[in-house]
Chain A
Amino acid sequence: MRVARTAHERLTLDLSAGERSVLESLTGELIALLQSRGVASTGLPRDPALERLLPNAYRDDDEASAEFRRFTEDELSAAKIEDATAVQAAAAHPGDIVLDGRSAKPWLRSITDLRLALAVRLGVREDGDEGDGSAEAEPARQMYSWLGYLQELILDAL
């Protein structure tokens, strides 16, 4: 992976074939997860990753949260799917990915969503926590930290 700043708020992302394929499959999983949620739902999602992606808007008011969710969740979820789809499409094509302040936005947001979902699966609960240290979780842990690194590089280059 190489991220180069080519001009003000303009950067080039050079990803390996392996990195592209990881991004493609992770965004695919994220889209499927978001699509698994029924439309116009009002309750907190049962899946903990979805719960973090689509959280309650009121801390101590379930009724207001449900009402808010009824009117906003479909739009929020659709925006997340749109972001993930943009990243997935860019990752599917070989060659440098050129991003500016505007086109980097879906990347930054979707990388965040991917990290949030992975963190829930890994059981990351506190600052500095890397979560599940088992051998099986190693690939997920690596993806989680790689995505953080990628996001940091994009932010640095902007």
Chain B
Amino acid sequence: MTQDETDVHLRTARDLPWRTIVWNDPVNLMSYVTYVFREYFGFSKSKAKKLMLQVHNEGKAIVATGNREEMERHVQAMHGYGLWATLDNADA
């Protein structure tokens, strides 16, 4: 592989969308999870509630996508609110 090809390869890997995932836990109240989604992400009441229900019913929800640094910030913020969140690369 030439140097150019390596660069292209790295760039593609770097640009792949990362995701912030919030996982269900038995402790956090549904009203609190909705509050966090509204407060931190600025989601509408209905969007926040929909995502909260997805977490509750399906065990997890993707609450944001973007670059890795951004998703790391979101995950840290979610941990600040006591929500169980992780990030991953959608294509990994």
Contact = CB atoms under 8 A, between A and B. Distances in A.
Contacts of B81: 109, 112
A148 B29 contact: yes
B75 A57 contact: yes
B27 A124 contact: yes
A54 interface: yes
Interface residues of A, number: 35
A54 B82 contact: no
Contact of B79 (A54, A60, A108, A155): A54
A109 B88 contact: no
B84 A55 contact: yes
Interface of A: 52-60, 68, 72, 75-76, 79-80, 105, 108-109, 112-113, 115-116, 119, 124-129, 148, 151-152, 155-156, 158
B43 interface: no
B27 A76 contact: no
Given A68-B72, A72-B72, A155-B35, A55 B79 contact: yes
A79 B82 CA distance: 11
A58 B28 CA distance: 20
Chain B interface mostly helix, strand, loop or mixed?
mixed
B41 to A, nearest CB: 15
Interface string B1-40: 0000000000000000000000010111101100100010
Contacts of A56: 86
Given A57-B87, A59-B88, A129-B26, A76 B31 contact: no
B32 A151 contact: yes
Nearest to B35: A155
B76 A125 contact: no
B82 A116 contact: yes
Contact of B82 (A113, A124, A156): A113
A106 B60 CA distance: 25
Contacts of A115: 27-28, 82
17 contacts: A54-B79, A55-B79, A57-B75, A57-B79, A57-B85, A57-B86, A57-B87, A59-B86, A109-B81, A112-B28, A112-B82, A124-B26, A127-B26, A127-B56, A151-B29, A152-B31, A155-B29
